[in-house]
A and B are shown apart, each in its own frame.
Chain A
């Protein structure tokens, strides 16, 4: 049962990722990325990371993807050969396509060779089905307190910087 869920969600994630690669329309690609994120969140749940799965859905699907769709819509360019059946078209050069496929498949074969060749000896107990929220909270507030604070400052800096860059459209005036 668990194996069936794992393989179906992995196939969902990989097929929608391939759809982004082959789709010419960027909006369709963004919606396929939504499916990929959901599949990855399901893989997190199957690996025992319930808190991270919910965080993934809230941050990626609720925040980043909506932001990207806004970005696609705000950078719309009506070129001469755009018709109503071909919106948001991304032209792909043949040489780029060739190098992209070559790099992608080559990297996948390289990584797969390394993964299948290595023998991982895991000594710890496998995670039980209890919730991970308590452990994550305690670890964040004790041994990982400095990275937590640095992440907070990073988010504040990113917020101010993004607001400045997006609001102040013409600093020369």
Chain B
């Protein structure tokens, strides 16, 4: 049981985090950026749970991951509500076109 070394979990999480970062940078769409941010939060959770394997009495890592999931759920609802308002006002979902303060 549990022959997979810790480093492999961490490497998978690092790969997912980097892909999420690249998605959040490249996508010119509010919801595309949100997809990248969700992927990054998931990668962080993999790290926490992989370290929590060695702490079966208290499971601090899994509790942290649970709170991260709660905060991610709150964040995405608020972000989508704000995106709806921005879309209703500017009629666009491109973050480059919401530039009133730069004009």
> A-facing mask of B31-60, CB < 8 A → 1, else 0?
110111011001001100110111111110
- CB within 8 A of B25: which of A3, A68, A96? A96
- CB within 8 A of A36: which of B11, B42, B63, B77? B42
Interface pair A100/B42, CB less than 8 Å apart = no
Interface pair A68/B80, CB less than 8 Å apart = yes
Report chain B residues within 8 Å CB of A40.
Answer: 16, 42, 45-46
Report chain A residues within 8 Å CB of B35.
Answer: 20, 29-30, 33, 68
- A115 to B6 Cα, complex, angstroms: 10
Interface pair A33/B15, CB less than 8 Å apart = no
Interface residue count on the B side (C-beta < 8 Å): 73
Counting residue pairs across A and B whose Cβ atoms lie within 8 Å, the total is 243
Interface pair A165/B84, CB less than 8 Å apart = yes
- A56 to B69 Cα, complex, angstroms: 8
Chain A residues 86 to 101 lying within 8 A of chain B, measured CB to CB, are 90-93, 96-97, 99-101
B72, CB-defined interface residue at 8 Å:
yes
Interface pair B73/A139, CB less than 8 Å apart = no
Chain A residues 69 to 127 lying within 8 A of chain B, measured CB to CB, are 70-72, 74-75, 77, 90-93, 96-97, 99-101, 103-105, 107-108, 111-112, 115-116, 120, 122-127
Report chain B residues within 8 Å CB of A129.
Answer: 1
Interface pair B38/A103, CB less than 8 Å apart = no
- CB within 8 A of A112: which of B14, B65, B73? B14
Interface pair B67/A93, CB less than 8 Å apart = no
Q: Which residue of B lies closest to A46 (CB)?
A: B4
Interface pair B22/A64, CB less than 8 Å apart = no
- A2 to B84 Cα, complex, angstroms: 44
Interface pair A52/B32, CB less than 8 Å apart = no
Interface pair A125/B80, CB less than 8 Å apart = no
- A59 to B101 Cα, complex, angstroms: 36
- A64 to B18 Cα, complex, angstroms: 21
Interface pair A140/B28, CB less than 8 Å apart = no
Could you jot down 8 A-B contacts, CB within 8 Å? A2-B1, A2-B2, A60-B69, A75-B83, A111-B18, A126-B53, A136-B63, A158-B75
